[in-house]
Amino acid sequence: MRYRLVIFDWDGTLMDSAARIVACMQAASRDAGWGELTDDAIRDIIGLGLPEAIDKLCPGIDPERSELLRSRYSFHFVQGDTTPMRFFPGVEAGVAGLRGISERRLAVATGKSRRGLDRIFRESGSGDWFHASRTADETRSKPHPQMLEELLIELGVDVEEAVMIGDTEYDLEMARALGMDRIAVTWGVHAPERLAASRPVFTAEAVPELFDWLNR
């Protein structure tokens, strides 16, 4: 067994949700009177906690408008937008295979809120896949490593026995700050050359490659 603990990012790594996030953030920005935000700018901040994402997207935004943008984003994501979100093909079978080893633990470290992650766990039926999870609103946003530190403590795993998997530099830099192994996946939002700067131990270009490598 290569790792006792495998930690996944959610959006862009397990779930194909970038289009939904982009559409909802653009609608929220219009609602808040901030104006148009480009697809590329929004894709760049996927993975951060929502307050941190808004601060980066909208430099100088005042607190009142920032809060309005946050609330409108939540509205659109939960109720107002119907852009489909699905697991990337092969994810469900791949995670099931990892769970087949009793000594292995699986976890999620995400920029989502706890409320948002629990909702998608329920809707997708995936909550039982994971032994633990951390969200940006109950700890600190990526790339700060606090959520990984907490997962290691909760699950009783040393950093050398764990790996972080993600599609953004925020995921990889979070792990790098702890000296944790990290795997980049290229089907998400950040370009391969950007991910390479964080020196991943492996870069997966397709979902089967990721799970094959983990199961060697």
Output the DSSP codes for 95-130.
Answer: HHHHTTSTT-EEEEEESS-HHHHHHHHHHHT-GGG-
Judge if 45 and 91 occupy the same domain.
Answer: no
Judge if 22 and 12 occupy the same domain.
Answer: no
Domain C-terminal end among 63, 80, 97? 80
Q: Please state, rounded to an integer, the average pLDDT across all residues of the chain.
A: 95
Q: What is the pLDDT of residue 209?
A: 98
CATH code for the domain of 165: 3.40.50.1000
Q: Is the pLDDT of residue 82 over 80?
A: no
Q: What is the pLDDT of residue 79?
A: 84
Judge if 117 and 189 occupy the same domain.
Answer: yes
- Whether 11 sits among the annotated catalytic residues: the reply is yes
Judge if 99 and 154 occupy the same domain.
Answer: yes
Residue with tokens 């409108």: 72
Summarize pLDDT for 179-194 with one digit per residue, the tens.
Answer: 999 999 999 999 999 9
Does the pTM surpass 0.75? The reply is yes
The stretch 150-160 carries a mean pLDDT of: 98
Judge if 95 and 171 occupy the same domain.
Answer: yes
For 113, 129, 149, 198, the CA distances from 120, given in Å and listed in that order, are 11, 13, 24, 29
Share of the chain above pLDDT 90, in %: 91
Judge if 56 and 93 occupy the same domain.
Answer: no
- Whether 55 sits among the annotated catalytic residues: the reply is no
Tokens standing for 207? 């979902």
Judge if 45 and 92 occupy the same domain.
Answer: no
The more confidently predicted of residues 1 and 107 is 107
Judge if 109 and 194 occupy the same domain.
Answer: yes
Domain C-terminal end among 44, 61, 80? 80
Judge if 12 and 28 occupy the same domain.
Answer: no
Judge if 92 and 158 occupy the same domain.
Answer: yes
Judge if 110 and 193 occupy the same domain.
Answer: yes
The stretch 79-107 carries a mean pLDDT of: 90
Q: How confident is the model at residue 201 (pLDDT cuts 50, 70, 90)?
A: very high
CATH code for the domain of 23: 1.10.150.240
Could you tell me the residue range of the domain that residue 159 belongs to?
A: 5-16+86-214
CA distance 66 to 68: 5
The stretch 156-164 carries a mean pLDDT of: 97
Question: Which residues, listed in sequence order, are joined to residue 87 by a DSSP beta bridge?
Answer: 15
Catalytic annotation, pick one of 11, 16, 171, 181: 11
Summarize pLDDT for 26-65 with one digit per residue, the tens.
Answer: 999 999 999 899 999 999 999 999 999 999 999 999 999 9
Domain C-terminal end among 80, 107, 123? 80
Q: What total number of domains does the chain contain?
A: 2
Q: Is the pLDDT of residue 81 over 80?
A: no
Judge if 92 and 56 occupy the same domain.
Answer: no
Under 8 Å between Cβ of 48 and 148: no
